[in-house]
Structure 1
Amino acid sequence: MNFNRRRSFVKKVLAGLVTFTLSPKVVTKAGPTTFNFNTKGPYFTNGFKVSEVGENQCMLWTRLCAQATPNPVRHERIEKVFRHPIDFDENQEVSKMDGAVAGVEGEARVIIKDKKGKTIFTSPWEKATSDNDFTVKIHVTGLKENNDYSIIWEAKELDEGKVTKEKGSFSTAPADSKAVPVLLTTSTCQYFWSFDDKNRGFHTYDSMAKLKPDFFVHTGDYLYYDKPGPLAKNMEKARHKWHAMNGWPSLRDFFKKVPIFMIKDDHDVLKDDAYRGKGPYGDLTFEEGIKLWYENVPIEDKPYRTLRWGKDLQLWMVEGREYRSRNDMEDGSEKSIWGKEQIDWFTKSVDASDATFKLLFTATPVVGPDRDGKKDNHANSNFRHEGDWLRQYLSEKKNLFVVNGDRHWQYVSKDLETGLMEFGSGPVSDFHVQGWDADDVRPEHQYLNLIGGFLSIQVDRKTGNPKISFIHRNVKGEILHEESFTG
């Protein structure tokens, strides 16, 4: 696992971490707020995440909470795309909002056990404070490759008291010399109010859990600062968006057993098509958005990184917001989405890889096709110079495929000029589907479906030769389309 560590920068960012008008179809008044505060906490109401899993290490994240369950969903929704809440008071106290979860000061530690039940790692007690929204991050090292581990999180108040616990499990990556089967899942674009079930959240997470994937890659727009319920125009409301999303039981249950690798996109940082210099969004600045992302994501190094999982698979997860040029800059050799440092890292590491299959995970499309009005990705004319170079470079690498987020429909495309293949997972929920006409099937499209769900990717040698399969599924996990390639 190569994380290109540069801890000095991230430690500064993470110092102290231990963290419009619409016409509704029907108007329904919200009911009373129910609170679940209990001084006998802290609670793991926002769950925990395991990430950056390699052969011998991982990153763990949690948030200590003052209430056992999130505030319930009280508002009805409009019968339109995104399902915005009806009669939502954007000026109400955040603590009273649907999905709110109050944090609490305390201490947390993690215990890791091997499959025989032997404790092999115990972290020190780490403080969770309001400075970083009561979040805790713990870096675990000294693990063995291709091994199963159990996790026990413990939390207590600062003045000792009762210890609460949360349990989970994960597996480390196999060495790059081992031909080990791997199953991963990926999806994108989830808005709190586009939930499938007001009690559990999103069907996609429960469906993915049934497949028991080795890990999950979220390709951006984990949440939406710039959609109502509330519009996150300050730090408090932006943090609330994280609390509400992480409070869904379907996510909590999934992340107890499946590691997540997270890539950020515009709505995770500030607003649509975000880049440095475009903000702020209300009182929320781009830099504050970056801080909040690192506060809530289990990562301590550069946001771009690569993951090797055995002999047959290597992934690259790239960053498209922190280093990009302004959208209104004239296109040319100096205009970039990735930035020179990231491009150098990417090309060198791809050129050096001997993995059978290579996957580029990107928050935004490289092939598309995309809508004519969009201007912020490599499939758009606004970044054509870098896009042309990138498609040509990637197409010259054997068995390399692009997996992207951001687009609110499922598709498989083959670039007409280079033959590069791109797989768009589509959004987490059917309620989030929009932006493309189902009858607009272009020559690039190998598959097009206006539906939510996820993409599962399987690599194995069941037939003797290494094989990779890309399977689009709906929110219930049912297979919709499959493409396979032999290495």
Structure 2
Amino acid sequence: MENKILLLVLFLTSSLYHNLKAQEIDNQVYFTTGFKIGEVTDKSAVILTRLCKTSKPVAVHHKRKEAPFKSPIDFDNTVPINNMEGAVEGSFGQVKIRLLSKDTLIQTKWMYVSAYKDFTIKRKFENLRPNTTYNITIEGKKEEESPTTHIKGKFTTAPSQKEAVPVLFTSSTCQYYWSYDNPTRGFKIYDSMLKLNPLFHCQTGDYVYYDKPGPMAYTVPLARHKWHAMNSWPSLMDFYKATPLYIQKDDHDLLKDDATPYSSPFGELTFEDGLSIWREQVPIMGKPYRTFRWGKDLQIWVVEGREFRSDNKIPDGKNKTIWGREQINWFKKTVQSSDATFKVLVSPTPIVGPDRPKGKFDNHSNVSFETEGTWLRQYLADQNVFVINGDRHWQYVSVDPKTGLWEFSQGPVSDTHAQGWNPDNVKPEHRFLRVKGGFLATKVYREDGVPIINFMHYDVDGKLMHDEKISAKQ
């Protein structure tokens, strides 16, 4: 009899324990899609995160086609989103963010997230100190008495514009979830870039691809899923926890190929839907075109190429534009007033090229925007501006034969995403050409008192493939 009572007690205790653990798990929130540090200046930064219901994304189980792109085989676009690879369901709850330097603590109150904004939350921190490292702790909980989850990272603010300090930053473009080259980490380049300890990173568009399968993002929930899946790759999470981001959109992470405000919807997804999701998912506040100063020797311009452009298909002329009049006026004013030693334009699309001659009518190197492109190349050359561009799926260094303008194309994030140019087709303007994936690192420093800018192309494994060192004009 005593044995039966003991067994019953053990059974009830075990059941109670498992029920409590299940309730605890159900009451837990996670940071499965990480967080982003954006728009860092010498005085401010924006932090964005999202509360999640599960600790891990849905694992990849589809086989893939051959390169390029390696899209999934027999993907069913109609299955529930939470069953799709990379799915990370959001969770209601509260978030608290703390920044800690050597002698300063800045923190928010507990803030509720909303399903209306996909359980994301975004806050700008001001009154920071220049050239100062801040450790970040983000806490999350579902309810007042729920267990707390946390995630940590760090960043360093920009130096003041009077300081001549070395700056190294990275940049990349064009990443499709299914073009991953590491089945557990996601994309190799993020781990390779992190080893360089960049002070910041420029992502020049096509962060996700709404119009490639796995799924095709015909609705707002499917479009949001693309961000969840991409952000849950461990290599991206680790990189962005330690690296501030300046991000730009292009066509595929806004709506579809060659998107403009005049584009028809992609399924049920409209251009305005794309803008709304973009603003929700990235650490940006204010205008989509911005400029950032990093000490005495470097200033970058991060421009917008989709929101203000003309219809791609109308005839070229003085009124046909990619940037729009307001952005052009802002750009000219800020460039001409800058006393930075080196000026770098970060563009989502090419300005010099060369681009493919057939079927391309979307950027300043195409004849469809020849009028604005011709003016822009000459203006940038006259102002001694260098161009870093995204959108092209190959790496190159080009020097415009008419103006001498330099352009550096980063290439896509993986070798399986590289395509679109014959590697044997080396043009006179090419100083470097490689039809493979990788990234660009840019370093600004002084050698014997002389300012130098160094553009370095790397492969996905972090091997240096080409570099160009250019001294400041005396």
Normalised by the length of structure 2, the TM-score is: 0.93
Structure possessing the higher radius of gyration over alpha carbons: 2
- The answer (yes or no) to whether the contact 1:226–1:271 under 8 Å persists in 2 is yes
Question: Is 2:351 the partner of 1:376?
Answer: no
Matches within 5 A, 1:444-459: 444-459=429-444
1:100 to 87, 108, 111: 87
Q: Aligned equivalents of 2:143 and 2:317: distance in 1?
A: 55
Q: Aligned equivalents of 2:145 and 2:129: distance in 1?
A: 33
2:78 to 82, 87, 91: 91
Question: Is 2:294 the partner of 1:289?
Answer: no
Matches within 5 A, 1:357-436: 357-372=342-357, 373-398=359-384, 400-436=385-421
Q: Aligned equivalents of 2:42 and 2:351: distance in 1?
A: 30
Listed one character per residue, the Cα deviations across residues 197-251 of structure 1 (whole Å, up to 9, x for unaligned) are: 1211000000000000000000000010000000001001100000000000000
Question: Aligned partner of 1:221: which letter?
Answer: D
Q: Aligned equivalents of 2:104 and 2:97: distance in 1?
A: 11
Cα root mean square deviation, aligned: 1.0
- Residue 41 of structure 1 is matched in structure 2 by 28
Q: Give 1:330 deviation, angstroms.
A: 1.6
- Residue 57 of structure 1 is matched in structure 2 by 44
Q: Aligned equivalents of 1:119 and 1:108: distance in 2?
A: 20
Question: Is 2:321 the partner of 1:336?
Answer: yes
Q: Give 1:104 deviation, angstroms.
A: 0.4
- Residue 302 of structure 1 is matched in structure 2 by 287
Matches within 5 A, 1:53-452: 53-114=40-101, 116=102, 118-372=103-357, 373-398=359-384, 400-452=385-437
Listed one character per residue, the Cα deviations across residues 148-200 of structure 1 (whole Å, up to 9, x for unaligned) are: 11000011114441111100000000000000100000010000000011211
Q: Aligned equivalents of 1:146 and 1:211: distance in 2?
A: 18
Q: Give 1:120 deviation, angstroms.
A: 2.1
- Residue 29 of structure 1 is matched in structure 2 by none
SS in 1 for 2:26: coil
Which segment is superposed worse, 357-366 or 160-169? 160-169
Q: Aligned equivalents of 2:51 and 2:303: distance in 1?
A: 30
- The answer (yes or no) to whether the contact 2:251–2:258 under 8 Å persists in 1 is yes
1:484 to 466, 469, 473: 469
Question: Aligned partner of 1:279: which letter?
Answer: S
Q: Give 1:371 deviation, angstroms.
A: 0.7
Q: Aligned equivalents of 2:447 and 2:406: distance in 1?
A: 23
Question: Aligned partner of 2:133: which letter?
Answer: D
Question: Aligned partner of 1:381: which letter?
Answer: V
Question: Aligned partner of 2:94: which letter?
Answer: E
Question: Aligned partner of 1:110: which letter?
Answer: I
SS in 2 for 1:333: coil
Q: Give 1:119 deviation, angstroms.
A: 4.5
SS in 2 for 1:461: strand
SS in 1 for 2:279: helix
Question: Aligned partner of 2:249: which letter?
Answer: K
- Residue 19 of structure 2 is matched in structure 1 by none
Q: Give 1:278 deviation, angstroms.
A: 1.1
Structure 1 residue ranges without an equivalent (≥5): 1-36
- The answer (yes or no) to whether the contact 1:175–1:311 under 8 Å persists in 2 is yes
Q: Give 1:126 deviation, angstroms.
A: 1.6
Structure 2 residue ranges without an equivalent (≥5): 1-23
Which segment is superposed worse, 290-299 or 37-46? 37-46
Q: Aligned equivalents of 1:52 and 1:120: distance in 2?
A: 20
Q: Give 1:42 deviation, angstroms.
A: 1.1
Listed one character per residue, the Cα deviations across residues 436-476 of structure 1 (whole Å, up to 9, x for unaligned) are: 00111111111000110100000001332010000000001
Q: Which runs of 4+ in 1 moved over 4 A?
A: none
The percent identity for this pair of structures is: 53
- The answer (yes or no) to whether the contact 1:441–1:448 under 8 Å persists in 2 is yes
Question: Aligned partner of 2:41: which letter?
Answer: G
Q: Aligned equivalents of 2:419 and 2:407: distance in 1?
A: 19
SS in 2 for 1:368: coil
Normalised by the length of structure 1, the TM-score is: 0.91
Question: Aligned partner of 1:173: which letter?
Answer: A
Q: Aligned equivalents of 1:109 and 1:332: distance in 2?
A: 51
Q: Give 1:40 deviation, angstroms.
A: 3.7
SS in 2 for 1:288: helix
Q: Aligned equivalents of 2:168 and 2:231: distance in 1?
A: 24
